[in-house]
Structure 1
Amino acid sequence: MALSVAVAPSGAQAQDYRFNSIRVEGNQRIEDATIASYTGIARGKTISAGELNDAYQKVMASGLFESVDIEPRGGTLVVTVTEYPTINAISFEGNRRIKDDALEKLIESTPRQVFNPAKAQSDADTLAKAYSQQGRVAATVVPRIIRRSENRVDLVFEISEGDTIEVERVSFVGNRVYSDRRLRRVMETKQANFLRTFLRSDTLIEDRIEFDKQVLRDFYLSRGYVDFRVNSSNVEFTRERDAFYLVMDITEGQQFRFGEISTSSEYPGVDAAAYQDALKIKPGVVYTPTLVENSITRMERLAIKQGVDFMRIEPRITRNDRDQTLNVEFVLTKGPRVFVERIDIEGNTTTLDRVVRQQFRTAEGDPFNPREIRASAERIRALGYFSNADVNAREGSSPEQVIVDVNVEEQPTGSFNLGGSYSVNNGFGVALGLSENNFLGRGQRLSFTFSTAEDAEAYVIGFTEPFLMGRQLRFDLDLGMSNTNSSYSTYDTERLFFSPALTFNLSEQTRLSLRYSWQGNEMKSRDTAIEGPVIASEIARGRESASLAGFTYTFDSRLNGLDPTAGFLLEFGTDYAGLGGDSNYLRTKAKAIAQKKILNEEVTLRASFEAGALTWLGDDTSRTVDRFLLSSDIMRGFEPGGIGPRDMSPDTSGNAYDDALGGNFYAVARFEADFPLGLPEEIGLRGGVFLDVGNLWGLSNVDTSAAASTCGTSGTGSCIVGEDGSWRSVIGLSFLWNTGFGPLRFNFSKAIVKEDYDKEQAFDLTLQAKF
C-alpha cells in the first residue's frame, strides 16, 4: 500500500493540485464512480497535499482494497487499487469438541462476502473465546486463506483446541461461619476429581465465576449476613501450569435478625392495622429479603381484594448494630395512577399467546404494578418453553398508560429419556420416556413412560393441562398398566388404571388435589410357586375393580422461605371406593416430614411419620392387593411385605406357606441424619445413620376360613400370625453417592426388635439414572 504524489518544484511554496478527471485502474468488481466518490475530491477544485493524503485514507478506510496508490498526473488523478478477494468458502480444521455448524454461528465472515483480514482475525478471537468458555484457555485459532481463481479465496480457521484446564482447588479467605466445603456446595464451579468425565463444571469459565459471586451473595444474604461482600476472586496457575487455583476473598460480616416489624399508612383512608395482621414475619427471625418481598406481595394482594388501587408498599429498614437487628416499617403509599394499556407478545411462533398471558396476574386495563410484572417475567422463564424471555414496560399512548412488551425465543420442549435402575427388590430395569411439555404450543404436557425391571414393569400415558378453563387449576390424567412378579411373593399382579385429578392452591403454603381413579386389579397364580390357602382363595376371585374418589391436602412450609435451613411438610389424603366397581372401602393416609440443617448446614436432620388406615365397608372381604404392604421406602431393614400378618398354614409336606397378607393399619416413624465424610465435595459421597420404628397390623374383613385352624408341631395355635401387630425397630448406616450416572444409595441395616416370622433385608441398593 503506497501513496505516490508527483509534486512540481515551486520553491518554498506548498504544492496545490487541481484535477479535471479521476482515472481508476486495477478494479474488477467495484465501479470507477464508486471508488472516485470515496476520494471526496471534486473536479476543478484546488486541494492541498494534505487533502490528497486524506483522499488516500478514505479509499483505504472503505475496507475493500488490499492496496491503494494515488498519483497525480497533470490534471488527472490516477487511483490504482488491488481489490480484496471474495470469500469462496469457509472451513474449520482441527476442531473436535465444537462442531462446524456451531462455529459457523459465532463468526461474522460469510461466503460471497469481500474478505476482510480484520474481520477474519476478530472471528478467530471469537472462536478462541468460545473454547475458553469450555475451559480450554490454551486454544488458538489462526485464520488462513487459500487463493483461488477469479480473485477468490477459501477462508480456513486452523484450530488447536488444546487440553481442558481444570480447577484443581477452590478455596476461600475470610469465611468464619461456613466452611470451605459448605460454600463449595453453593457454587457452580467445582473442583476436578476422578468423575470429571461426567462433571463439566470443573473447568474455569469467567462467566461462571461471576455467577458464583452472585450465588454466594444470595446465600449469605438469605441467612442474615447483610454486609457480605466478595472482595476479589483470584485465579492462579498451578506450578505445572496444567490447572488453576481459584481463591475467593470474602467478608461475611455479622448475622442480623428481624427487630420490630410495623406498618404505617400514608395512603388516605387506608387503615394499616389490617395490613399489619397480614404479616407473617416475627421478631427474632433471621433476616432474609425473601420474607420482605413475600410480605409486600401479600399486602398488595390484600389491597386488590379490598379494592384499593395503586397501593405501593415501601419497606423502610432501620439498622441497629448494637443488638444486630433490622427494624422494618412497611409504609403504605399511593403510587402513580398508571394503567396497563396492553400486553404485546412477540417471538412465539409455536406457543399460543394465551399460554404466555396466563402467567400474568395483571390484565389489560388493570392498575400497573411493577412488582407483579417482574414476578410474571419469572413465571414465563420458569415455563421452560423459551431460551430467552424479556419483559419490559414502556410508556403507552399517554403518560397514564404503559405497554408491557414480552419478547421470547422459543426452544425445543420435547424430550426423549433413556434410563436405568436397580434395586434389591426389583432388580435391574430400563426406563424409556417420551414427553412434550408444550403440546401443540398450548402449554400442555403429554408423555409416555415405559419402565421395566426384573420383577416389575409399567406403561403409563400422562396428560397435564396447567390452566384448565384459563384458571389456576391443574388437570392431570394418567392411564396405563403395571405388572409385578416379585420374588418376595408367591403370586403375580396385573393392574389397569385410569386416574384424572384437579389440583389448586388454597394459600401460599397449601394446595388441594381432588381425584378420581378406576383400577382393575388381578392376582395371578405363578407356575413355579405354591400359594397358601388365603392367597389361593384371593387369586380365585379373578379381576376385581375399584372406583375411587379422593383428595390430598398438602401443607409445605418451604414455599414461603421463612427458614432456608428448615422445612416442614404435612400431607393428608383419603380415598373412598364404592362409586361402582367390586370394592367398597375407605383408605386414609397421612405423612409428616420435618427437616433441619445444623452445624453450619453441614448435617441434615430429618424426622418423618407416616400412617395409613383401611376401613372395609363392603359385604365381601378385602384382598392382599387392597391392604397395606410396607416396602423398603416406608420401613427399611425388611423385605417388601416382610413384616405384618402372615399365613403360616402348613402345606402337604408339613412346611409353612409363609405368605404376607398385608394389614389394614400401619404406622412408621423414621429418624435419620446425613453428614459429610470428609471427602472432596465433588465426589458427592455422604454418610448417614437412621432409625426406623414401625408396625403393620389388622386383618378384619379378610377371608381366613381357608387357612388351617391350628398350626405348629403341637397342633395348637392359629395359622394367621401378626394380626394384632407389634412394633419393630431398625438401625442402619447409609452411604449416599451422587454419581455421574445418578443418585446411588447403599443402606446397611440391622433389626433390633422384630418377630421370628419377619423377613429381614440387611442390605439395600438403589440407583436411578437418565442418559
Structure 2
Amino acid sequence: MKRLLLAALAAAVGLVPVAEARAEDPLEITLRLPDEPVAEVRVEGNRRVDTEAILADLETRAGARLSRDAIRRDLARIYAHGFFDDVVVRLLDAKEAGTTGPVVVFEVHEKPTIRKIEYEGNKEIGKDDLKDLLEIRPFTILDLNRVQATAEKFEEKYREKGYFLATVTYRIEPVPDEAAVDVVFVFDERQKVQVKEIRFVGNDHVPESEIEPFLETREGGWFSFLTQSGTYVEEALKRDLMRVASVYYDRGYINVKVGQPTVSLSADKKWIYISIPIEEGDAYDVGEYRVGGDLIADESLLASLLKMKSGERFSRTKMIQDIFALQNYYRDQGYAYVNIAPLTKVDTDAKTLDLTLDIDKGQKVYVERIEIKGNTRTRDKVIRREFRIAEGDLYNGTAIQVSKERVTALGFFESVDLEMRPGSGPDKVVLEMTVKERPTGTFQVGAGLSSGEGFLVTAQIAHDNLFGRGQSVSLTWQYSSLRNIFQLQFQEPYFLDTRATFAFGAYNTRSDFFDFIRNSTGGSLTWGYELVDDLRVFGTYTLENVEVSSLAQGGPSNFYGGGITSSLKLSLSYDKRDNRLFPTRGQYQTASVEHAPDWLGSENLFTRYTLVSRWYYPLPLGIVARAKGELGYITGENYPISERYYLGGVFSLRGYLLRSISPTVEYASSDDPLGGTSPFRIGGNKQILFNFELEFPLLPMVGVRGVLFYDMGNAFADDAPFFTDRQHDLPLGMFHSVGFGFRWFSPIGPLRFEWGIPLTPRPEDEAIRFEFTVGNFF
C-alpha cells in the first residue's frame, strides 16, 4: 500500500522517473491522496544544510492536508536553495510511521562542495593571473555553469595573449569518503599565433603607412615579446575597423565603407593573415562652414573658435574638436546642457560639404549643491577648498574641470570622479565628487649597500595628509659613512583656511666631503601665499650653525670656515603637476634667491641664486618621461666651503661618487718645501645639472617600475664660465652618465635601486655604481 501511495503522489507531482510512475497504470493515476492531515514533515539526506532552514520554507506542514500544488511549490523552493541536485518525495502511512497521520519525507541529495581547484598544462599564464578570473571558489557548492564560465574566461585570456587555438576543459574528481570534489582545469595551450600581415584592399588614395599607426592590432616583429604586438584579439580588430574609417573621415572620404575582414590561418597554424576591404569613395572639401541656432555672442567671435576652415579638406576630428570648443564656451557661460548638431549639405558635383553647427543652448543652470563621497579620512574642507566653483554659482565647465584637477593633484586619492546630476529644478544641478582614498602615511625602515657610501640605514615617519587636514609632516634619519641626517619638517598649505602657507623645519646633519666634514644644526621658518592658481610666493628665514673641519692633512686652511648663517630666501614656484606625490604629467618651476647679510647677524655672507625646472610627459604603455634642469650660482665675501657646489651621487649625477665632482686646486700636503702636492676639492661657485628619465611598469600589481636615465652636469670653478671645465676635456663641459634601475612603491614608501654608468669617467671612477635610497627623485 505504501509503495502505491508513493507512486501515485510522485506521479502526480512529476518527481520520480517515468519507469516508476507509468501513465498506463490506472491504479497509480487514479489513486487519491489521503484525507487525513499530515502528522509530520521530515527531511532526510541533508548533511551541511540545517533541517530547520529547509522546513521553514515549505508550504507543506504538520496539521495541513496534502496538496499536489503545494508539494510542487515546495520542491521548487528546495531546489532554489542551490545546494541540492536531486529531491525525492516519499509518503509514509500512519501505521508504518507510527503516527496519527501520514508523514511526508523530502529526501535530498546535496551537491558536492569544491575541495580544491587545480590546473594542468598552463605554462604561459601563471596561476596567480588565472585566479583573478575564477567564477568558483574552494569550499563552495559546485556549480557546473560557473565552472564552464571560468573555462571560457581562461580561453579568452589565452586569446588576448595570442594563443588563438588554446582550449580549456575541466574534470570533476570526486573525493573518496567525502561529499566533495576537486575541479581540475586542463589547458591545451598549443602554439602562439601571431599576426603576420595586415593587408588593405582598395586603399588607392590613403597608403597603409597612414592607417597602421592608428590600429590596435599590429603585425608581429622581433620585439613582440615586449610590446605584445602581433597578438590577435577579435574585439580589438572590430575596433580597428572603426579606426580605419576614422582615418578616411579625417581625409575627407565621407562615404568610405570598411568591409568585414578576412582572417586566415597559415598551414602550420603559426600565423594569421588579415585582409581588410575598403571602398574609399570621393574626398570632399569644406564648403560653407558656419555656426547657427542659439547664438549668445557675435557670430564672428564664435567662428574664431573653429579650427577647420572653408576650402580645406574635411576632417571629422577637427569638426568634433570645434564642437567641443563651442560646447566649452557655452558651458562656461552657464549652459550646462548645450547641444550642438552638425547639419550637412553635400554637393556631389563640386565634392564639397557645407556645414552648419546648429546650437541648442538650453537654459542657464546653477550649482545647487556640491557633494563629496568616499573621503573616509580626508576632511571635506580639504577637498572643497580646491574647488573653483561654489554652491549657488552659475555653472562653469572650466571651473569644474580645474576643480577636479586640483583635487587630483593633492595626491591623497587613487581616483577622483566628478559627475553632474539634475537638481531640484530644471535650472539647478548637483555636482557629486567621489574619491577613493590612498595611503598617505608611511613608516620606512631600510638598509642597503652602496658602492660609495657602504652600509646605509634610513628611517622615516611621514604623513602627507595628517589627521585628514591636508598637512604634511615627516621625521627622517639617514646614516652612512658619508652622511648622518636628522630632519623634522611640517607644512600647512592653507594656514587658518586662507591662501597662506606656513612651514617649519629643524635639522642636524653631518656630511663628509672627503677633504672636510660639515656639521650643521639649524631650522627654518617659511611663509607663503598663493598669488593665483598654481603660482605661489614664499619667504623663508633660516638660522643655522655651521662647522667645517679639515680631513686633509695640511689642507688649505683659508677655505675652511663656519659660524652662524642667518638668511632670507625669496622664492616663486609654479606647480602644474597632475599629482604632487606621484606626478605623470605637467610641470613644476621654481626660482629663488637666498641672501645672508651681516645685518641679519649672519657670519657667513653670501647670496645664492637657484632655478629648477621639472617636466613630466605621459607616453603609451604606462611609460612616463621626466626631465629636470637645475642651475645654481653663489657669490659672497665670506662663506664656508661647504656652501659651494658639489655633484655626484643618487640625488644629482648618478654613476659618480657622492659629492666627488668639483673643481680642484693643488696644495702642499706637508711643511716640507720639497714635498709633493695633492688635489683638494674646493667646490664650484656655479652648477648646471640635467636629469632625464623613462619610467615604465615592470610588475604593476606590486608597484614595481623600471627606469632608464641619462644625467649630465658639472660644478664650475670661479674663473670658468658655464659649460667650461678647465681640468677635464668634457662634452659641453659636463660629466655624463647613463643607467638603469627599478623603483618599488612599497607600502612603506618609494624605494630606489639604481646602477649608474659614467660616460666620462675619471681614473678614480668605477665602471658601474650601485646606489640605494628611499624617496622620490623628481
Which TM-score band applies after superposition, normalised by the shorter structure?
A: 0.5 to 0.7
For residues 327 and 572 of structure 1, what CA distance do their matches in structure 2 show? 52
Change (3 A) 1:84 1:505: farther
- Superposition map of 1:503-518 within 5 A: 504=530, 506=532, 511-518=535-542
- After superposition, the C-alpha distances for 1:682-729 in whole angstroms (9 at most, x for unaligned) are 9979797x9878743159xxxxxxxxxxxxxxxxxxxxxx99999985
1:696 to 693, 708, 717: 717
Quote the residue 2:202 is aligned against: none
Change (3 A) 1:273 1:231: same
Q: Does 1:395 align with 2:398?
A: no
Quote the residue 1:748 is aligned against: 759
2:481 to 422, 441, 454: 454
Quote the residue 1:679 is aligned against: none
- Superposition map of 1:110-509 within 5 A: 116-118=141-143, 122=146, 176=209, 270=297, 303=332, 334-369=361-396, 385=412, 391-408=418-435, 410-417=437-444, 426=453, 429-470=456-497, 477-487=504-514, 489-494=515-520, 496-498=522-524, 500=526, 502=528, 504=530, 506=532
CA contact (8 A) 2:663 2:715 kept: no
Shift of 1:749: 0.9
Shift of 1:516: 0.8
For residues 232 and 501 of structure 2, what CA distance do their matches in structure 1 show? 40
- After superposition, the C-alpha distances for 1:332-352 in whole angstroms (9 at most, x for unaligned) are 874433333223334443332
Q: Does 1:614 align with 2:626?
A: no
Instruction: Give the number of aligned pairs.
Output: 669
Quote the residue 1:547 is aligned against: 567
For residues 580 and 272 of structure 1, what CA distance do their matches in structure 2 show? 65
Change (3 A) 1:400 1:46: same
1:2 to 12, 16, 35: 16
Residue type of the partner of 2:683? G
Shift of 1:585: 3.3
Residue type of the partner of 1:452? Y
Secondary structure of 2:759's partner? strand
For residues 737 and 230 of structure 1, what CA distance do their matches in structure 2 show? 46
For residues 381 and 245 of structure 1, what CA distance do their matches in structure 2 show? 45
Shift of 1:165: 12
Shift of 1:550: 1.5
2:59 to 33, 37, 48: 37
Secondary structure of 2:367's partner? strand
Residue type of the partner of 1:736? G
For residues 628 and 8 of structure 1, what CA distance do their matches in structure 2 show? 106
Secondary structure of 1:354's partner? helix
Query: Percent of pairs identical after alignment?
Result: 17
Quote the residue 1:323 is aligned against: none
Residue type of the partner of 2:677? A
Secondary structure of 1:589's partner? strand
List gaps (5 residues or longer) in structure 1: 194-198, 254-258, 321-325, 560-564, 675-681, 700-721, 751-757
Shift of 1:443: 3.5
Secondary structure of 1:697's partner? coil
Shift of 1:652: 0.2
Change (3 A) 1:543 1:728: farther
2:549 to 525, 530, 539: 525
Quote the residue 1:81 is aligned against: 106
- After superposition, the C-alpha distances for 1:714-750 in whole angstroms (9 at most, x for unaligned) are xxxxxxxx99999985577754334578443312216
Residue type of the partner of 2:364? R
Residue type of the partner of 1:80? V
- After superposition, the C-alpha distances for 1:130-181 in whole angstroms (9 at most, x for unaligned) are 9998999999998888799xxxx8867667899999999899958847999x
CA contact (8 A) 1:22 1:79 kept: no
In the superposition, the TM-score normalised over structure 1's length comes to: 0.60
- After superposition, the C-alpha distances for 1:521-553 in whole angstroms (9 at most, x for unaligned) are 5233256x32524xx3564x5442223221034
Secondary structure of 1:37's partner? coil
For residues 275 and 495 of structure 2, what CA distance do their matches in structure 1 show? 50
1:27 to 43, 48, 54: 43
For residues 577 and 276 of structure 1, what CA distance do their matches in structure 2 show? 56
- After superposition, the C-alpha distances for 1:632-691 in whole angstroms (9 at most, x for unaligned) are 7878999846554736356302333543333444568x79999xxxxxxx9979797x98
Quote the residue 2:740 is aligned against: 737
CA contact (8 A) 1:585 1:615 kept: yes
For residues 593 and 739 of structure 1, what CA distance do their matches in structure 2 show? 20
Secondary structure of 2:677's partner? coil
RMSD between superposed Cα atoms in Å: 7.2
CA contact (8 A) 2:59 2:71 kept: no
For residues 168 and 757 of structure 2, what CA distance do their matches in structure 1 show? 42
Change (3 A) 1:77 1:379: farther
In the superposition, the TM-score normalised over structure 2's length comes to: 0.60
Secondary structure of 1:625's partner? helix
Which of structures 1 and 2 has the larger relative contact order (alpha carbons within 8 angstroms, sep 6+)?
Answer: 1
- Superposition map of 1:552-701 within 5 A: 552-554=572-574, 571-578=590-597, 579-590=600-611, 611-616=631-636, 621-631=638-648, 640=659, 642-644=661-663, 646=665, 648=667, 651-653=670-672, 654-656=675-677, 658-665=679-686, 695-697=716-718
For residues 717 and 727 of structure 2, what CA distance do their matches in structure 1 show? 9
CA contact (8 A) 1:70 1:77 kept: no
For residues 726 and 486 of structure 1, what CA distance do their matches in structure 2 show? 24
For residues 328 and 530 of structure 1, what CA distance do their matches in structure 2 show? 84
Change (3 A) 1:367 1:235: farther
Change (3 A) 1:530 1:169: farther
Shift of 1:621: 1.9
Shift of 1:587: 1.6
Shift of 1:502: 3.6
Change (3 A) 1:70 1:686: closer
CA contact (8 A) 1:697 1:725 kept: no
List gaps (5 residues or longer) in structure 2: 1-14, 45-50, 95-100, 120-125, 200-207, 281-285, 347-352, 579-583, 695-703, 745-752
For residues 772 and 499 of structure 2, what CA distance do their matches in structure 1 show? 32
CA contact (8 A) 1:474 1:502 kept: yes
For residues 54 and 670 of structure 2, what CA distance do their matches in structure 1 show? 109
Secondary structure of 1:27's partner? strand
Change (3 A) 1:90 1:57: closer
Residue type of the partner of 1:626? E
For residues 184 and 5 of structure 1, what CA distance do their matches in structure 2 show? 61
Secondary structure of 1:749's partner? coil
For residues 498 and 280 of structure 1, what CA distance do their matches in structure 2 show? 51
For residues 163 and 501 of structure 1, what CA distance do their matches in structure 2 show? 67
CA contact (8 A) 1:5 1:70 kept: no
Change (3 A) 1:386 1:663: closer
